Structure 1
Amino acid sequence: MKFKFLLLLSLMPLMVSAQKAYFVDGYHGGVYGHYPKWQTQFMVDKITEHQDWRINLEIEPETWDSVKVYDPEAYKAFQEAMTQAGFAERIDIVNPSYAQSYLFNISGESIIRQFEQEI
């Protein structure tokens, strides 16, 4: 038993690989929040420039509505990029009502129904 344990312990560095760490900063809130006006075009530019990047976006509809008004060119560029092969696969859109729910003004049943998945 001791031999098996020592063998396993000696092989652990070979079985475990280091993971890359990523830093993410987020914005939300549209015109009432702190999503920078340059951010949409920046995302298009950077994910185009860095083909190995993947991004995860949790941006509520209010922000997209705001971008569409104050930076329609960037909004259209992002919208078009999302239809291009090689770009859309590297972007994960997360539902903001799931990731950043506002649960203070609803009942327990509403909270449960918000997270219920239809099959």
Structure 2
Amino acid sequence: MALKKVPFYTYSKIITSESSYGKRMTRLRNSIFGEPLRPSQHIPKNYKTVRVLSREPVNRRDEVANWYPRHRETHSLMMALREYGLFRDEHEDFKEEMIRLRTLRGKPPWNPKEKNKDKKK
């Protein structure tokens, strides 16, 4: 008995048909590829889970990952500009002045670690 060759496109016609076999194969294909099992019975508001899971993860989205400006680069740029005299940082000026006045009074530079050692003894 010779086997009859069946073209592949007939399988795709069977799967898309309205027969019970075609419906079951469509459900199987949808479950494998993560699609809704019965799209004809779903209304759009029930696709929320599908939409949420198909989106890119939050930590990989550009608007979330790069939300804040680059603080380190901005700080180093401002310090370089301050050294050239093009930017005035009043807080850094105040801290430097306090250190200068402390050394003029003859006190050593303040070290918070040494203060904690005295309290433990």
Q: Which has the higher contact order (CA 8 A, sep 6+)?
A: 1
TM-score of the two chains, using structure 1 as the length reference:
0.26
Name whichever structure is richer in strand by fraction.
Answer: 1
TM-score of the two chains, using structure 2 as the length reference:
0.26
Name whichever structure is richer in helix by fraction.
Answer: 2
